Structure 1
């Protein structure tokens, strides 16, 4: 199949390109700079340079693709408008459109406390106050079957692997800034997590045999933030300590403190496992293995 990856130069997008190429698909990727374009060429993909917010140019790319995978990052309202324009262009084509959401939509602010709530793909939930609006975009994609489009949504949990993870990077950042690895409150909160290569496998299976209108989670484990912070602290030989939200905002920023480190977001993936036959790799289940990755140490040098 001819697959177009929007956001191909990003962390997830790069993993998707590699997986789709390995499966024998012809992959084109929208990228924003020459460095990302060269990386895509090395992965045997074909780069197209552009800006996703240029809707006329972006929509024009859809015609040559059998499958469109949206793996880009935009603010919520531009994201919705972009997806709407693409669905309008694809109407009646029978093509596949896969939208990347995230389990942040179901996160609960707990200020460091654990929540017993955990959500499978089609469980009902109260959408996050901060990014729950993305659920509107999810619903647009899932309803696209009525318009002759095979619309599928993938909701990854917190992604890690190959020296990248926004949360672990945040813990390293706190150490560089304060001399301690910081977490909010008791640090019992968490985002369920998954290795980036296992996320890419969910997408591969979804375009191969996913059902129109389906939502698939990608999640393989969970470890609370205090445990991760303490592991980073041991790696760096510095203390780990609790902070309140006000101090967390000064360490990171208001958005990161509220959306990342003060919430609990626990998820399960029964539909991905039963409907797609997805299984995360047994060697990629423990996020603590990532804490000592050499790439993360460069964050200290850069700070």
Structure 2
């Protein structure tokens, strides 16, 4: 199968490109810079030079040439909305496959560090987080296009962890560099569902094999309150765990980072398990605690 990945140089898109190439697919990937293109080529992935702004026609042409298109980019609202609409116009009626990577950020609740009992399966109605309303709109646009000769689906993972400095664990280590303590917000009982990157790539393979048009598939393997993360990091480094106010958190992680560390986002992967037979193989995000790459984040700059 010929697969074109938009976002092939990112954390998730790059893992998808390598995984699908290893499965024997012919993979091309969008690359904005020459260095990124060289990296893709060294991995056996054919680079397509371009971006989602002035070179979007190049992107759409590469999409037309593929059997499957995977949108895994982290773009701004206007870029994402325009690109999705252009892709659908180009692929409608072709019976090709379009997979759109979203995330459970679309349904998070602003609990300011408090616990939430709410957990959402794929078919449950959700009220989108205002900052992610554009992403929920893109999800809806992709799924609606499935009735027009396009096998369109959405993959919505929880917090993705794995090799690299991504997510809440790394952010807690970074807070030690800034404050001397492993930090959380408020009570620290807010909980974000998580999933390993390898389990996400396997879900994409299953969706390609037997996903249904208009399908929405969650990916989740576990969930951990932020205070538990902070307490484990504190024990690893021999420091205290400490609660921050929202303003203190903004000073440590920035406004957006503080928002991420204060919300709850709990999901269940009912459709992914029942329809695709997906089961996660990596369930303990806290197994990363103590890795040297993370400990380095706790060292103050300079």
Per the normalisation by structure 2, the TM-score is 0.95
Q: Secondary structure at the match of 1:84?
A: helix
Residue 291 (structure 1) shift: 2.1
In 2, distance between residues paired with 1:71 and 1:84? Answer: 15
Matched, 1:247 2:248: yes
Alignment deviations for residues 18-63 of structure 1 (CA, whole Å, 9 cap, x no partner) = 2211221110111223443333233321122321223222112112
Residue 149 (structure 1) shift: 1.0
Superposition RMSD in Å: 1.4
In 2, distance between residues paired with 1:39 and 1:285? Answer: 30
Indicate the residue corresponding to 2:158 in structure 1: 157
In 2, distance between residues paired with 1:34 and 1:171? Answer: 33
Q: Secondary structure at the match of 1:266?
A: coil
Q: Secondary structure at the match of 1:183?
A: strand
Q: Secondary structure at the match of 2:100?
A: strand
Indicate the residue corresponding to 1:90 in structure 2: 91
Matched, 1:33 2:33: yes
Contact 1:182 1:240 in 2 (8 A): yes
Indicate the residue corresponding to 2:284 in structure 1: 286
Matched, 1:277 2:277: yes
In 2, distance between residues paired with 1:301 and 1:186? Answer: 25
Indicate the residue corresponding to 1:15 in structure 2: 15
Contact 1:190 1:265 in 2 (8 A): yes
Residue 102 (structure 1) shift: 0.5
Q: Secondary structure at the match of 2:146?
A: helix
Gaps of 5+ in 1: none
Relative to structure 2, which stretch is displaced further, 19-28 or 41-50? 41-50
In 2, distance between residues paired with 1:82 and 1:128? Answer: 21
Residue 301 (structure 1) shift: 4.9
How many residues in Structure 1 have an aligned counterpart in Structure 2? 300
Contact 1:186 1:242 in 2 (8 A): yes
Alignment deviations for residues 189-239 of structure 1 (CA, whole Å, 9 cap, x no partner) = 021000000001111111111111000001110011000111112222221
The 5 Å alignment of 1:132-281 reads 132-258=133-259, 260-281=260-281
